[in-house]
Amino acid sequence: MADKAIRKIVIVGGGTAGWMTAAPLALKLGKACEIVLVESPEIGTVGVGEATLPTIRYYNQALGLSPSDFVARTQATFKLGIEFKDWGHVGNRFFHGFGDFGPDIEYRSSYLYWQRLAREIHDMPPYEDWSVAAVMARNHRFTPPTGDQPSASNAYSYAYHFDAGLYAAYLRDYAMARGVARIEGYINEVEQHPQTGNIAAVKLRDGRRVEGDLFVDCSGFRGLLIEGVYQAGYDDWSAMLPCNSAQAVPCASVERHTPYTVSAAKSAGWTWRIPLQHRTGNGHVYCDGFTTDADAARVLLDGLDGRALDDPRQLRFTTGRRRKTWIKNCVAIGLSGGFLEPLESTSINMIENAAGWLLELFPDRDFRPELADEFNRRVARGYENVRDFIVLHYKLTNRTDSEFWRYCANMAIPDTLRHQIELFRETGRVVVYDKEGFSASSYISILAGLGVAPKADDPLIHLMDLRKLHAHYYQLRQVIGQTVNAMPDHTHYVRQLVS
């Protein structure tokens, strides 16, 4: 079977997706397969995916990257979650942290027991007081989790904020040091095998021809191969994710870097704030059917912490996904496979997943369609579950101050998401369809943060003595506070790490 092995992989497009795909392929395949990446300086990258999920740590770890070197090279800071402002109603504030709200009690969610106490005890502190990540964020503290036994010292996780351009360059150096060849040029033609329909080569404008066995499309929104050659089709989800525009601008960094992302709801969308060591990334995601670009820019610039370092950069997009992201010998990864707005920092995670699944399902030159079917199934499931999680933020709103929010409150949503909302609203239970996606605690953060209070308790939580339960929560809250107070300041920790 060795004669059928993939001999050459061609990655079309650089940026975050291209180099995040090239790096693990180079590490795994070594010299067994030639890997070439083709990118053009004429084609810019989106460069707004600077906030991540905790899975980025495992991706970096798999590559053997040094955490301190990574933080220094990418101007990174740490991320414990997202602070949401004005979502649900103006004046609302809640935190989606990486972690739970205390350990399960008798195999039931700690939140359910908190809900019982909140009904029965006057002035019960808010549930976020039992989220270690939320308390750390509130106090601007950070240190990595420690210890092997469950405790407040490790009852949280973390991700990073980083400069996506620097990260792509970091991985480019990593991949090229392991044999990946970089070709600079603009692709203006794609050749297909006349019998199989597989892609045989890409031709550059200067006449060069790059042959390959497996082609990975990281060409961004245009989907040069997956759409341009194979017309994969696109599922348009803009009816339930109406934002179709974004403007991004960096500003001068503030002295104290928050260990969390900020998302603030606006009249026609939302703004992000992502603190890096050398600057702060800012953006405004909005629907151009409910505001103008000029007004969107004004909202963005008026909300900056510091001096703008550039003019806002305009982006347009249609939320959705390709109907297939693996066709014949072409696999689409990154924006070429689909786009979901960056509200929950999922774009880079989707690249991680796709690159990992490509390695797990790596083909030979027969390109068995069953491998493509499984890859497409996983990608579709991932996109659909992230879609529903993001739609949740928009649908559960009591805002009536703008046409945009009135639209979101009344828009149709998938039955699967409606079931998740109603199950929690009626019983406090959470259903998670994708065990590889957002956890039950993440759903609780959004549902409860947006004002959904369960109408009834789980009857089994009433079997525990109320005084015993109250004492448990009181003690746990004290331990969390003491643990967090002993942690270093986040900005100080970052400076010490890179010094």
Q: Is 32 annotated as a binding residue?
A: no
Task: Please state, in angstroms and as integers, the Cα–Cα distance from residue 241 to each residue in 8, 25, 83, 390, 418, following that order.
Answer: 39, 33, 20, 8, 15
Quick check: 164 and 182 in contact, CB under 8 A?
no
Kindly tell me the burial class for residue 298, based on how many C-beta atoms sit within 10 Å of its own C-beta (0-12, 13-18, 19 or more): middle
Structure tokens at 137: 């964020």
Q: Which residues contact 119 (CB under 8 A, 6 or more apart)?
A: 457
Q: Is 16 annotated as a binding residue?
A: yes
CA–CA separation, 119 and 106 (whole Å): 20
Residues with a known catalytic role: 79
CA–CA separation, 491 and 31 (whole Å): 42
CA–CA separation, 134 and 127 (whole Å): 10
Residues linked to residue 287 through DSSP beta bridges, in sequence order:
none
Q: Is 146 annotated as a binding residue?
A: no
Q: Element (H or E) spanning 93, and its range?
A: strand 93-97
Q: Is 14 annotated as a binding residue?
A: yes
Q: Is 348 annotated as a binding residue?
A: yes
Structure tokens at 94: 């809640």
Q: Is 175 annotated as a binding residue?
A: no
Q: For the chain, how far is it from start to end, CA to CA, in angstroms? A: 51
Q: Is 15 annotated as a binding residue?
A: yes
What 3-state DSSP class applies to 190?
strand
Residues linked to residue 9 through DSSP beta bridges, in sequence order:
35, 214
Sequence length of the chain is 499
Structure tokens at 432: 């998670």
- CA gyration radius for the chain? 24
Q: Is 207 annotated as a binding residue?
A: no
Structure tokens at 25: 């392929």
Quick check: 342 and 272 in contact, CB under 8 A?
yes
Quick check: 490 and 258 in contact, CB under 8 A?
yes
Quick check: 90 and 441 in contact, CB under 8 A?
no
Annotation: binding site for L-tryptophan: 344
Q: Which residues are annotated as a binding site for 7-chloro-L-tryptophan?
A: 79
Residues contributing to the annotated binding site: 14-17, 79, 335, 344, 348
Known binding-site positions for FAD: 14-17, 335, 348
